[in-house]
Amino acid sequence: MTKRFILTSFDIWLPHHTSNSSDDLLELVNKVNFVPNDLIFLRKLPVDVKTASAKVITQIDETQPDYIICCGMAESRSKLSVESNARSTVHIGEDWNESILRTSIDLDNLVRQSTALEISHNCGRFVCEGLYYSVLNYLNLHSQFHPNKSSCIFIHVPILTKDNLSVVLEGFLSIIHCLALSPS
């Protein structure tokens, strides 16, 4: 059975960026003809948690995907980093309250598929973590309203170079393939 995926990427956010590696990767995935799944691309999301989250959640409601793979650029990483969790910190009175949400996907099984993959437990404190938390929270709160239970992961993409491009692309496609073969 064909699985439906939403794949997201961000736009650039710093003056020295000419592209965002997460979007560059999705552009390459879009050109691969042998991917036998229903891939919905939501590219170049604005680097703003509220706006990006609203766009992704709207797409989830409209398309009812099996999986959402959110992607962001991580200049300091050398592998595709699959994020295990997202945190949200709220200031209540004089206290800080941190909430941690974890993906329901078996990450150990995913990273076995390629040497280009690693599990990360630090999504960062930027728009990437904000989007991931928002989507995981939405899926947790609204799962009873959706006929199919959607799952989400966030992947940080390293800067793409001629030396790592084929390995990173292969690793990303192995994630899609592994999820497509897993029971819903």
Instruction: Give the domain ranges of the chain.
Output: 4-181
**First CA to last CA distance, the chain:** 10
pLDDT score of 15: 73
- Mean pLDDT, residues 5-27: 90
pLDDT score of 102: 97
Tell me yes or no: is domain 4-181 CATH 3.40.50.2300.
Answer: no
Q: pLDDT (tens digit, 9 = 90+) per residue, 78-125?
A: 999 999 999 987 656 676 778 999 999 999 999 997 889 999 999 988
Amino acid identity for residue 57 in this structure: I
Whole-model pTM: value is: 0.93
DSSP one-letter code for 117: E
The answer on pLDDT for 77 being more than 90 is yes
- Mean pLDDT, residues 120-146: 89
